[in-house]
Structure 1
Amino acid sequence: MELNTIKPADGAKKARRRVGRGIGSGLGKTAGRGHKGQKSRSGGYHKVGFEGGQMPLQRRLPKRGFKSASLKFNAEVTLTDLQRLGAAEVDLLTLKQAGLVGELAKVVKVIKSGELTTKVALKGIGATAGAKAVIEAAGGSVA
């Protein structure tokens, strides 16, 4: 085999479609566009979702729902989670290592759900008013 003898396999190369080049090509006159109508004309297409002037589906349906893009950076931890964790000092890194919050979490808040009997010191983590009261009653602190 030589470089000058290499050629593609039979049927691998197909001549491109040359429209509007006479009757003999099979794509002369209307150039494969059929007769009349919007799609036969130059520039004759409509935007996505267009329904011929009828009110399109995306406008007939009511607007509903919204999901904030910043939700993935916020996380919640319960008092029960802190109890199970069993650490004296808790910060964002501790929670991430324990798998209680996601890796993307930047803002964490402790919510009042469950019981807490151990002393826990929170560093750089927020807490709801109820959760703060429970933490401080157990001898802990929120900073």
Structure 2
Amino acid sequence: MRLTDARPKKGSTKRRRRLGRGISAGQGASGGKGMRGQKSRSGESIRAGFEGGQQPLYRRLPKLKHFPLVNRQEYTTINVSKLGSLPANSEVTLNSLMEAGIVTSNNGPLKILGNGTLNVALQVKASAFTAGARSKIEAAGGSCEVLQTSHR
């Protein structure tokens, strides 16, 4: 037996449609494509998802509510009011906050939020600060250092 002898099983294949070969052939004249219109023309048909120039569904939907950001950055957040219990001039990082028991879980890089008051000067090292948090830390005599986070 040779590769050229290989044939499909009898009855498993159908012959191809011969379009536009006269009315008796069954697919004459319009070739089974109906009368007129964009889908009856020769050549490439319309692409998948095309809606005649209207904004297609796959581009409309993400503009609506409740669609999550694809690569959303998760932060471990803490307010400045929680930092008031730390000793003066101490260095504040995510690891030091976890050791002190102020933060219990590591949900990503540290972000300092500006809710509450701060009366202690601290050297805060975090990945992000809100404008209010930065001003409150610096007003208390502390410093803010932004750490670079590695992107996924």
TM class by smaller structure? 0.3 to 0.5
Q: What is the TM-score of this pair, normalised by structure 1?
A: 0.45
Q: What is the TM-score of this pair, normalised by structure 2?
A: 0.43
